[in-house]
Structure 1
Amino acid sequence: MFCHAAPRPRNAEATRAAILNASLERFSRESYDDVGMRDIAKDVGVDAALVSRYFGSKEDLFASVLDSCSNGSELMDGPRSGFGLRVAHAVIFEPKKEGKLKGLLIMLRSVGSTKAMEIVQRTGTERFFGPFADWVGGEDAMVRARLAAATIMGMAVSREITGGFGLNPEECKRLEARMGRILQDIIDG
């Protein structure tokens, strides 16, 4: 009688996480239109049908990848009165977070794809801009939320492109103070 090796135990959560991670890597390096479900499956070593089983369509997988990067809810953590300075400090001084950077790359690469931009815009409104505007509150809440987010994103992109603003420590402190005031003025309306 021959002994057979026990089947390898399946770990659905680990497989799902591996697929999500491979998708994050792919979408941050390549445009939405250039990434296929088979490519992702190959990266993980699974069948493409398994990717669909866990995430549904490519659009659903892309939305899950965007969610995994960051939904921006940390902007609303902490007292409202300290929002501007807290966020300015994070943008200027805190180490970059890999997930956020990859999320930014994914959004930038999505500009050329109608389908990807539709997903970015829909998920951005549902998962970030809507809740952020609610948190901002008051008159023109969505306008102020959009303006604050654009300022933050612009500064974050600038930091990445220039490798850290190219300022000495004292100039960085002044930049933090000015950016903090601007953001607080936007939020306070």
Structure 2
Amino acid sequence: MTKTRDSSAPASGRERILEAAVGRFSRQSYDQTGLREIAADAGVDVAYVHRCFGSKEQLFHAALKRAVQTEKVINDLGADPAGMLAAHVLSDAKADAEVRPMDILIRSLTSPKAAAVLRTVVIEDFVTPLGAQLDTNAAQRAALAAALLMGVGILRDVLELPALTEGPGGALERSLADTLAVVLGQTKSKI
């Protein structure tokens, strides 16, 4: 979900660029999105985009981090990481958001350059910090949790699979939390 800012306060050029990039990357693929379009959306010159972010890949990286906000998710895990992750992925707040992080992910998966950035963000911002909280097979367990969460997010938010449209706090959230608890090594598998 993207941050909302006070509409009475003027946004800096860098912030306008970042907001425009999040919007563009959520509607178009990485390869279809141009820096000139983003600059025009932000009301700045394309040279200013280069000065602020360096390259399209670096701007995509910043836009993805802004949309996904994994640092906030990881910091809010508390004593029940599986429950918090399940609640986050099923949160109704995503339905009201202007930009859904899964939109950016889905639209850019086929681009090798975008996939490299996506991989970096998932590893550095989710797998590594989550793995640091786990005991055995930490990286593998954290990566499996990421795969499970992304899969549920795609089937729920993008494909709108009816069985996954239940709101927060229900049986779906409990089932997902139970599954994540096994993946994260919080409970023993009953299989």
TM-score computed with the length of structure 2 as normaliser:
0.78
Q: Deviations over 1:61-105 (max 9, x none)?
A: 11111111124231452433x22223323333532163771x221
Q: Give the structure 2 partner of residue 146 of structure 1.
A: 143
| Greater mean alpha carbon deviation, residues 66-75 or residues 26-35 | 66-75
Question: What is the aligned partner in structure 2 of residue 35 from structure 1?
Answer: 33
Q: Name whichever structure is richer in helix by fraction.
A: 1
Alignment-derived partner of residue 155 in structure 1: 152
Task: Pick one of 63, 69, 72 that aligns with 2:70.
Answer: 72
Matched, 1:182 2:169: no
CA RMSD of aligned residues (A): 2.6
Indicate the residue corresponding to 1:19 in structure 2. Answer: 17
Question: Which blocks of at least 5 consecutive residues in structure 1 are unaligned?
Answer: 1-10
The 3-state SS of whatever aligns with 2:132 is helix
Letter in 2 for 1:148: A
CA distance in 2, matches of 1:37, 1:168: 38
Partner of 2:4: none
Task: Quote the Cα distance in structure 1 between the aligned partners of 2:162 and 2:147.
Answer: 18
Q: Is the 8 A contact 1:69 1:100 kept in 2?
A: yes
Q: Distance in 1 between matches of 2:164 and 2:145?
A: 23
Query: Which structure 1 residue ranges, 4+ long, deviate > 6 Å from structure 2?
Result: 166-169
Instruction: State the secondary structure of the residue aligned to 1:135.
Output: coil
Corresponding residue number in structure 2 for 1:114 = 112
CA shift in 2, pair 1:146/1:32, >3 Å:
same
CA positional deviation for 1:37? 1.2
Whole-angstrom CA distance in 1 between matches of 2:89 and 2:109: 23
Q: Distance in 2 between matches of 1:93 and 1:123?
A: 21
Q: Please give the residue correspondences for 1:45-124 in structure 2 after superposition, counting only pairs within 5 Å.
A: 45-73=43-71, 74-80=73-79, 82-96=80-94, 98=97, 101=100, 103-124=101-122
Give the structure with higher Rg (CA).
1
The 8 Å contact of residues 89 and 153 in structure 2, kept in 1 or not, is answered as yes
- Counting matched residue pairs gives 174
The one-letter code sitting in structure 2 at the alignment partner of 1:60 is: Q
TM-score by length of 1: 0.79
Letter in 2 for 1:19: I
Specify the alignment match of 2:127 in structure 1: 129
Q: Deviations over 1:115-146 (max 9, x none)?
A: 1111111232122221121122x221111101
Per the TM alignment, residue 152 of structure 1 is displaced from its structure 2 partner at its CA by 1.5
CA contact (8 A) 2:24 2:38 kept: yes
How far apart in 1 are the matches of 2:60 and 2:103? 13
Unpaired runs of 5+ in structure 2?
A: 1-8, 187-191
What is the identity percentage for the equivalent residue pairs of Structure 1 and Structure 2? 32
